[in-house]
Structure 1
Amino acid sequence: AVLCREKMTEQQGNPDQLPADKGQGGLAVFEYENFRGKKVELSGECKDAFEKTQRIGSVIVESGPWVGFERPGYAGEQFVLEKGEYPRWSAWTNCQSFYSLCSFRPLKDSADHKFHLFENAGYEGRKMEIVDDDVPSLWAYGFQDRVASAKVINGTWVGYMYPGYRGRQYVFEQGEFKHWNDWGATAPQIQSVRRVRDMQWHKRGCNSNMASSVMGHFSLFIILFLKDLCYAIYF
């Protein structure tokens, strides 16, 4: 079920429309947890939400998807925000540390998704191709956790440092990433990836309880290239 905008209350206050560039999607940020306090609505890119509010304690994504950043100017840690409610900081990150959101931009949606992962920088070494599917564990599908370069053929993806869609997030939009620094990482480690889609994939918009999906069945075609050999693996 799609979570709709809650009715305004005196506690929430009147919404401010933050000037933003043209874009798709709609997102509302609130000053305090549980959608209380001052409300600011976004309809496009926002380099610094703190120009209109002193803090961000909760978020509602009415249409999307979006990516939020830890610091102004689209810098720092990235957090994918899909349609749904995020009543507190722990709903947009599964880390134990507190993470604020300071800047936002909408992400493009696509009907088709294709992602190539490479073991080494410069698109060298073993290769994994993922087509229209989510992978809760690269190890479970015969690939290692070392991902040093990548190519997004179609769609938008998010990679995670750990299995089960846990840990630091990295957004991959259509294009080429020759080195792990290109997606903002300090080390070539990705252990799970999934598609970013304009849909509510968790009832509260939270990605912290996905470990059970690791054992689920996924139809996935993986191509592994090792030296002169080519292995095709079906699940």
Structure 2
Amino acid sequence: MSGKIIFFEGRNFQGSSYECVSDCSEIASHLSRCSSCRVESGTFMVYDRPNFTGQQYLLTTGEYPEYQNTIGFNDCIQSCRIVPAHKGPFKMRIYERPDFEGQMHELTDDCNSIQDQYHMSDMRSCNVMEGYWLMFELPHFAGKMFYLRPGKYSNLREISSDDMRFNSIKRITETD
């Protein structure tokens, strides 16, 4: 896992800064606020609340001089998690109901509309077997997003902060 992100208190990379090369559950313990950042290497999931909660956004190498227009955060970044690079195959199973019940489909590639592609009325649980994925609130990878690491998610409504439904899924690749 390698990556480097630098957070700045002010917009446009102004004010005090904090350099991060791993997960950080509370940026406020290092900076009074975080209003811009620069991803020098790697991929990071950033959150608008401490402890990897709240609205999420994927940041790749580049500059983010302010968040309101770039990623849609009203306030500032409060925590971040590094997304490991994954070079192998991607594999995930999605289920129509909680606890891995109901209609099941196996994904190895992106899906821009769960409803259109699989005719599922809802996706309520999943098992991420290989790779790192993003689930989106709307079709075509739009709306709020949610980061999934390998593991079993028995009730997706419980892990999202606002009872969000998921309608598209995308692999996190090194080109994102």
User: What's the TM-score bracket when you normalise by the shorter of the two chains?
Assistant: 0.7 to 0.9
Of all paired residues, the percent bearing the same amino acid is 24
Aligned partner of 2:95 in structure 1 is 118
Aligned partner of 1:148 in structure 2 is 124
Aligned partner of 1:76 in structure 2 is 54
Q: Which of 144, 156, 170 does residue 194 from structure 1 map onto? A: 170
Aligned partner of 2:150 in structure 1 is 174
Q: 1:181 to 1:141 in 2, by over 3 A?
A: closer
**Cα displacement string for residues 180-234 of structure 1 (whole angstroms, at most 9, x for unaligned residues):** 14533543611111111233x3xxxxxxxxxxxxxxxxxxxxxxxxxxxxxxxxx
Q: Which of 80, 99, 115 does residue 139 from structure 1 map onto? A: 115
CA distance in 2, matches of 1:36, 1:165: 32
TM norm structure 2: 0.87
Q: Which of 45, 63, 70 does residue 91 from structure 1 map onto? A: 70
Do 2:54 and 2:161's aligned partners in 1 also have CA atoms closer than 8 Å? no
* Residue 83 (structure 1) shift: 2.2
* Residue 123 (structure 1) shift: 0.9
CA distance in 2, matches of 1:145, 1:64: 35
Say whether residues 1:100 and 2:84 are aligned partners. no
Aligned partner of 2:37 in structure 1 is 59
Do 1:108 and 1:155's aligned partners in 2 also have CA atoms closer than 8 Å? no
- Aligned amino acid, residue 87 of structure 1: P
Aligned length: 174
* Residue 78 (structure 1) shift: 2.1
Coordinate RMSD, CA, aligned: 2.0
TM norm structure 1: 0.67
**Cα displacement string for residues 134-188 of structure 1 (whole angstroms, at most 9, x for unaligned residues):** 2222233133351100010100001011122222211110011011145335436
For residue 70 of structure 1, give the secondary structure of its aligned residue in structure 2. strand
Do 1:49 and 1:103's aligned partners in 2 also have CA atoms closer than 8 Å? yes
For residue 117 of structure 1, give the secondary structure of its aligned residue in structure 2. strand
For residue 98 of structure 1, give the secondary structure of its aligned residue in structure 2. coil
Do 1:120 and 1:149's aligned partners in 2 also have CA atoms closer than 8 Å? yes
Do 1:66 and 1:104's aligned partners in 2 also have CA atoms closer than 8 Å? yes
* Residue 61 (structure 1) shift: 1.4
- Aligned amino acid, residue 139 of structure 2: P
Q: Which runs of 5+ in 2 are unaligned?
A: none
- Aligned amino acid, residue 5 of structure 2: L
